[in-house]
Each structure stands twice: as C-alpha cells, then as structure tokens.
Homo-oligomer: A and B are copies of this chain.
Amino acid sequence: MKKDKVMDLFVGYLREKVLQITKQREEIFRCFLSTDTHLSVEELYSLVRKKDPKVGQTTVFRTLKLLCEADIAKEVDFGGRVKRYEVKYGHKHHDHLVCTKCGEFIEAVDERIEELQDKLCKKFGFIPF
C-alpha cells in the first residue's frame, strides 16, 4: 500500500525540521489521507474529532500547514473564502473547473494548455504552480 510511503515522507519532513511525531499529527495525517476529496479545515476537523474528540482545531490548521510544506497536501482555491486542501502526494497535477454559482467542480488537464501556460509563465518570469 502507498500509505506507508507517504507516512515516511511526513516522518522524514518532521525529522528534517526537528519536529515531533505526535499522536495528534499522526491522527490528522491519517484522516486527511483517508479521503480523496477537497476538504476544508472544518471538514477535516470533524473527521479527526470522530477518532479523537480531544484534538483541537488549531492543531488541524497547523498540521495542514505542515502537510503542505511536506508536499503531501496542496491548498486549492475554489473561489470562496474557505481554503480547501487535497492530497498532493501520488496525484498528478490537475486543474479545477469550478461553477461560480453552485460550487460544483471537475478535475481536468489538457496537456496543450499546460504546455502553453508553462511557456507563458516562463515568458514573464513566473513559475507555474
């Protein structure tokens, strides 16, 4: 299974930054990886609380930040004011088409668009995200 490898990546990141591998961080990590959706912090917090009601929301915020830094999670902006996060590890880059009315979305990639975007970015000194 892939999960062990991601866990290794997380553990590696924490070691590198001399941070501790705590119960809370492990639980949040597990809950996050157990989904394949685009979670808000609140939604992840709910999941975590089902497993351990004592984990604080603040820690969820903080751990998601760590997961992003470790390239395991990726912040995705769906236009609203709530940040959402998806699993990045093991998932190819993709774009989102989001309905501005109802929030419905789909994931899609067009290689030609990506290529042209890369060129456009390079031309202006930006690095595609």
Which residues of A approach B to under 8 Å, CB–CB? 77, 79, 81, 97, 99-100, 106, 108, 110, 112-113, 116-117, 120-121, 124, 126, 129
Q: Are A81 and B79 in contact (CB under 8 A)?
A: no
For A107, the closest partner residue in chain B by CB is: B124
Q: A79-B77, A100-B129 are in contact. Are A116 and B112 (CB under 8 A)?
A: yes
Assuming the contacts A77-B79, A79-B77, A81-B81, asked whether A116 and B110 have C-beta atoms less than 8 A apart, the reply is: yes
Taking a contact as CB atoms under 8 Å apart, the answer to whether A113 and B120 are in contact is yes
Q: Is the pair A108, B124 in contact by a Cβ cutoff of 8 Å? A: yes
Q: Which 5 A-B pairs have the closest CB atoms?
A: A97-B126, A113-B116, A110-B120, A106-B124, A112-B116
Can you spell out 22 A-B residue pairs with CB atoms less than 8 angstroms apart?
A: A77-B77, A77-B79, A81-B81, A97-B120, A97-B121, A97-B124, A97-B126, A99-B126, A100-B129, A106-B124, A106-B126, A108-B120, A108-B124, A110-B116, A110-B120, A112-B112, A112-B116, A113-B113, A113-B116, A113-B117, A113-B120, A116-B116
